[in-house]
């Protein structure tokens, strides 16, 4: 079992090194439930951030509130994408959230509940801004939120050791994504 976990983490890290941050569909405006459902599954940066939030939420006091907070703030960010001016370093910010959540999960860093909610909320808002520019319509948003919730739930499933190893792999992937975005 331990070898399988190690190989899985190594494979995840290898994928991180091979894929740039914007190498997925969805950077042109798409619409429809299916487009929204597939978007977080095909965007390596978003997928890793969502998995890491799931991992980290299990390590926090009252961590069960973190995934819903991320979803709500991501929806708010998406709804504000057309109103707010474009953020110049949005892809860099997304890569930074992957690094941040990976490190938090790897080291199982516990922070006060208010700080964890603020951290997840701010990062969720940034992800929402990015997705609000990439996906169009309520159906896309519904699919996107459903897939995002499922990914975070999967991130919350592993045991402590796997959560920490996966967090380390995600943190390493975030560092690579950040270097590629810069």
Question: What is the rounded distance in angstroms from the CA atom of residue 39 to the CA atom of residue 135?
Answer: 9
pTM reported for the whole predicted model: 0.82
Q: How far is CA 176 from CA 42, 86, 94, 95, 124, in A?
A: 18, 24, 12, 8, 21
Question: What is the rounded distance in angstroms from the CA atom of residue 100 to the CA atom of residue 111?
Answer: 13
pLDDT digits over 78-115, tens only?
A: 999 888 877 778 889 999 999 999 999 999 999 999 99
pLDDT digits over 128-143, tens only?
A: 998 887 777 888 889 9
Q: How far is CA 102 from CA 10, 17, 38, in A?
A: 15, 15, 22
List, in order, residues 6 or more apart from 7 with CB less than 8 Å away: none
Are the CB atoms for 132 and 83 separated by under 8 Å?
no
pLDDT of residue 2: 55
Q: How far is CA 92 from CA 110, 113, 174, in A?
A: 25, 26, 10
Mean pLDDT of the region 35-49: 91
């Amino acid at each position: 079992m331990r070898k399988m976990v190690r190989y899985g983490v190594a494979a995840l890290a290898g994928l991180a090194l091979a894929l740039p941050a914007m190498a997925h569909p969805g950077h042109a405006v798409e619409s429809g439930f299916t487009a929204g459902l597939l978007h977080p599954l095909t965007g390596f940066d978003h997928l890793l951030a969502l998995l890491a939030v799931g991992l980290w939420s299990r390590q926090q006091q009252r961590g069960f509130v973190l995934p819903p907070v991320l979803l709500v703030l991501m929806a708010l960010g998406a709804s504000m994408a057309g109103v707010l001016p474009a953020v110049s370093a949005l892809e860099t910010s997304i890569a930074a959230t992957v690094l941040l959540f990976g490190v938090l999960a790897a080291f199982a860093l516990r922070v006060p509940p208010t700080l964890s909610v603020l951290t997840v909320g701010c990062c969720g808002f940034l992800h929402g801004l990015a997705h609000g520019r990439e996906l169009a319509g309520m159906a896309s948003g519904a699919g996107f939120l459903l897939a995002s919730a499922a990914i975070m739930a999967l991130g919350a499933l592993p045991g402590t050791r796997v959560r920490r190893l996966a967090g380390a792999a995600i943190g390493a992937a975030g560092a690579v994504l950040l270097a590629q975005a810069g």
